[in-house]
Amino acid sequence: MRFEPLEIRDVVMVEPRVHGDLRGFFLESWQERRFAEAGISAHFVQDSHSRSAKHALRGLHYQLRKPQGKLVRVVQGEVFDVAVDVRRRSPTFGRWVGMVLSAENHRELWVPPGFAHGFLVLSDSADFLYKVTDFYNPGDEICIRWDDPRIAIDWPLPVGAQPLLSPKDAQGGLLAEVEVFE
């Protein structure tokens, strides 16, 4: 496995070693010892799977009192995955990093606690897997608008296209208005 910190160093791209032949492929998507050696000590409590249509945008979500670290990957399709630093005292507060995750590139993204997370589906559909370090608590979830001008994420939407949003995501707040990590 290769671990590459992104522009916000706490967010890490993980590239598993893929062993393939005529039968298909094999990879380790999580290996506790290798992750710990790379500085990611995580105890996962839940795996989740979502399927989304083209231009579906999920996020930007985080839990404040029961923060979740997330190890995410795509097993069918392609997404543009984003992490936003929502730790007020961080030198990178309000900044974002993003990358393409796909079934083809097998890459994963480690989004540590203290970050909002979201993704945009680029393919006709995408199956997205999450490993999380705390249980989902809907009463603790905060949602930031996908198009918050302060964050200014460069979502790769075609000119004139609008993302498909859930009602909750359409009502997200601005970073300046929501509660964040101190």
Predicted TM-score (pTM) of the model is 0.96
Tokens of 112: 């540590």
Taking a C-beta distance cutoff of 8 angstroms, is the pair 8, 99 a contact?
no
In which order are the strands placed within the sheet that holds 141-143?
Answer: 96-102, 78-85, 115-121, 57-63, 141-143
Catalytic pick among 62, 117, 130, 136: 130
Confidence of residue 101 (pLDDT cuts 50, 70, 90): very high
Task: For residues 30-53, give the mean pLDDT.
Answer: 97
Is 62 marked active-site?
A: no
pLDDT digits (tens, 9 = 90+) for 7-35: 999 999 999 999 999 999 999 999 999 99
pLDDT digits (tens, 9 = 90+) for 90-100: 999 999 999 99
Determine the pLDDT at residue 179. Answer: 97
Taking a C-beta distance cutoff of 8 angstroms, is the pair 79, 100 a contact?
yes
Confidence of residue 125 (pLDDT cuts 50, 70, 90): very high
Catalytic pick among 43, 55, 61, 117: 61
Is 61 marked active-site?
A: yes
State how far the alpha carbon of 73 is from the alpha carbons of 78, 93, 177, in Å: 10, 24, 30
Domain 2-170 is found in CATH 3.30.590.20 = no
